[in-house]
Amino acid sequence: MRFPLFHSRNGLRFYLLRGIALSILLVLAVFAGNVWQVYRTGNQTLPAAATADAAVVLGAAAWNKQPSPVFLERINHAIALYQSHRVGKIVFTGGTPKKGYMTEAEVGRRYALKQGIPAKNILFENTSRNTYENLRNIKPILRANSVDSIIIVSDPYHLARAQAIARDLDLNAEVSATPTTRFDAREKKGRFLFQESYLLFLYQFESWGDRIWDWITRNG
Q: In the prediction, which pLDDT does 219 show? A: 76
Question: Cα separations (Å) of 69 from 61, 63, 66, 219?
Answer: 9, 9, 9, 49
* pLDDT tens, the chain, 220 aa long: 455 545 566 777 777 878 888 888 888 888 888 899 899 999 998 888 899 999 999 999 999 899 999 999 999 999 999 999 999 999 999 999 788 889 999 999 999 999 999 999 999 999 999 999 999 999 999 999 999 999 999 999 999 999 999 999 999 999 999 998 766 666 677 888 989 999 999 998 887 776 677 677 777 6
Assess contact for 74 and 57: CB atoms under 8 A: yes
Q: In the prediction, which pLDDT does 19 show? A: 81
